[in-house]
Amino acid sequence: MLGFIGNIGTWEIIIILLIAVIVIGPSKLPEAARSFGKAMGQFKRATSGVKREFEEAILLDPLTKPKPPSEPVKEEVVVDESAAENDDSKE
């Protein structure tokens, strides 16, 4: 759930809670936590909907299907015989 935060330990959570109690106050803390939880739920639903739309678009896109491997191009080597004769005459 808190994957975007990284590795958060017990002491970090305690410090965050203490700061929240000091800033918000003990009487309003449950209400603030409830609002934060609702906001996180809405955010998670919205992002999962967008993620699902992207995945469906990728699956439906015909360009993402793998193409069959093409046959290698065979090149013909043309030897110029007049060039070979000119080399022999120089010797």
Contact between 58 and 64 (Cβ < 8 Å):
yes
Residues in CB range of 64: below 8 A, 6 or more apart: 58
Neighbour-count burial of 50, counting CB atoms closer than 10 A to its CB (0-12 exposed, 13-18 middle, 19+ buried): exposed
C-alpha span between 31 and 39 (Å, rounded)? 12
- Residue 46, domain extent: 27-66
In a domain, 47, yes or no: yes
Asked, for residue 53, whether it belongs to a domain, the answer is: yes
Asked whether residue 74 is assigned to any structural domain, the reply reads no
pLDDT digits (tens, 9 = 90+) for 14-69: 898 889 888 888 888 889 889 989 999 999 988 998 888 888 888 876 665 556 66
Domain count across the chain: 1
Task: Tell me whether residue 56 is in a domain.
Answer: yes
CA atoms within 13 A on the CB side of 49: 6
**Is residue 78 in some structural domain?**
no
pLDDT of residue 88: 53
